[in-house]
Structure 1
Amino acid sequence: MLNPSYPIKTPRLLLRPFTMDDLDELYSFHSRPDVARYVYWDARTRDETRAALEKKIGYAVLSDDNDTLNMAVELRETGTLIGDISLFWRSREHRQGEIGFVFHPAYHGRGFATEASQELLRLAFADLDLHRVYGRCDNRNTASSRVMERLGMRREAHLVENEVFKGEWSDEVIYAMLRREWTPQA
């Protein structure tokens, strides 16, 4: 079981459970087609964002297989919500997890996704004692690939036209890291 002590602080960020007060800021980027381009949902209406947020609020603890830990990422300096990160517990038996992240484009290119995701890896390896953590993305999503590479994850697979994604054949790449490959951040 993983029940983090919130908020989790990094040098520039706070990671915390979502609340209904996050609706406006979450909607500001979940509603954007460019943000939804490489995720399994389309740009969300305000009502769709509210429904998604209601689910996210319940994802603050990992108890068993297929549970999701979903956290809001906010700037420590301003309190602005800039991202949405997830740790999925894929298998208790095989000690496997998956990470995911979505950030407001206004905050891309500053290392925030990497900084927040380093905490996901810490939770996965140090607190949950997972053996392997992976991340998946559309091969065209070079920004997400770069984040996983900066985290030290290795590219394990390139699945060619493995699914029809938003009406077209899409390639998927998979990055992973084993616990023994993980280096805790100072």
Structure 2
Amino acid sequence: MILRPIREADIPRIEAGSSTPEGTGELQWFGYRTFHMMRERVTKDGYLGPEAGGLVVEYDSEVAGWVTWSKHFWGPEVTSWGWTIGIILFPAFRGRGIGTAAQKELTDYLFAHTQAERIQAFTDVSNVAEQRALEKAGYQREGVLRRAQWRNGEWHDQILYAALRDRRGHI
């Protein structure tokens, strides 16, 4: 498994894998959407901006999914920010530890190349596989965000996880 910058040629695979409930899985399905902004971002800055970014998850030379990060503020933007990460892994690649490895590698990458002290992720309370993946990637459960996500016509509780930079600069 490797993470690498998104290429224009990857976008059709990302779009196909992310455009149906079967591709994203029921817990990541938020309805149909366009990928024109991803195309614009890849052309403009390689989808690697200072406020948000994304990388392809590649496994055996195939696009297995993608990871993203965006700034989240807990106070003044200059001093109180961290990253929120996310992952979409296509069905053929689930259940093999690829998601855990991708999230661990993304976390290490963000701690190595940014000054973030905190990286967080959240997942549906029923998504036990992702909860395990985050814990294996070094994240700790912090609490439940009640009715935080609107999906499929109703509100869903989410579990918040976070990894903190240690004194040596890693998690």
TM-score greater than 0.5 by the shorter chain: yes
Counterpart of 1:180 in 2: which secondary structure?
Answer: coil
Q: Which residue of 1 aligns with 2:123?
A: 137
Aligned partner of 1:86 among 68, 71, 75: 68
Letter matched to residue 130 of structure 2: S
What is the CA distance between 1:83 and its match in structure 2? Answer: 0.9
TM norm structure 2 = 0.81
Q: For the residues of structure 2 that align with 1:127 and 1:117, how far apart are their CA atoms?
A: 15
Letter matched to residue 153 of structure 2: G
TM norm structure 1 = 0.75
Q: Quick one: structure 1 residues 174 and 181, their matched pair in 2 at CA, closer, same or farther if it must change by over 3 Å? A: farther
Question: Unaligned stretches of 5+ in structure 1?
Answer: 1-11
**Given the alignment of the two structures, is residue 171 of structure 1 paired with residue 157 of structure 2, yes or no?**
yes
What is the aligned-residue RMSD (CA, Å)? 2.5
What is the CA distance between 1:122 and its match in structure 2? Answer: 1.1
Percent identical: 25
Q: Which residue of 1 aligns with 2:166?
A: 180
Q: For the residues of structure 2 that align with 1:59 and 1:133, how far apart are their CA atoms?
A: 22
* Aligned pairs (5 A) from 1:1-186: 12-13=1-2, 15-34=3-22, 35=24, 37-39=26-28, 41-44=30-33, 48-49=34-35, 51-57=36-42, 58=45, 60-63=47-50, 67-75=51-59, 77=60, 79-91=61-73, 92-180=78-166
Checking the alignment, whether the CA contact within 8 Å between 1:25 and 1:81 is kept in structure 2 is: yes
Checking the alignment, whether the CA contact within 8 Å between 1:20 and 1:53 is kept in structure 2 is: no
Checking the alignment, whether the CA contact within 8 Å between 1:56 and 1:70 is kept in structure 2 is: no
Question: Unaligned stretches of 5+ in structure 2?
Answer: none
Deviations 1:50-92 (A, max 9, x none): x2531551453342xxx111111112x3x21111101212245
Q: For the residues of structure 2 that align with 1:117 and 1:56, how far apart are their CA atoms?
A: 22
Structure 1 residue runs of 4+, over 6 Å off? none
Checking the alignment, whether the CA contact within 8 Å between 1:137 and 1:144 is kept in structure 2 is: yes
Q: Quick one: structure 1 residues 173 and 138, their matched pair in 2 at CA, closer, same or farther if it must change by over 3 Å? A: same
Moved more, 155-164 or 167-176: 155-164
Q: For the residues of structure 2 that align with 1:88 and 1:111, how far apart are their CA atoms?
A: 24
What is the CA distance between 1:130 and its match in structure 2? Answer: 1.1
Q: For the residues of structure 1 that align with 2:49 and 2:137, how far apart are their CA atoms?
A: 22
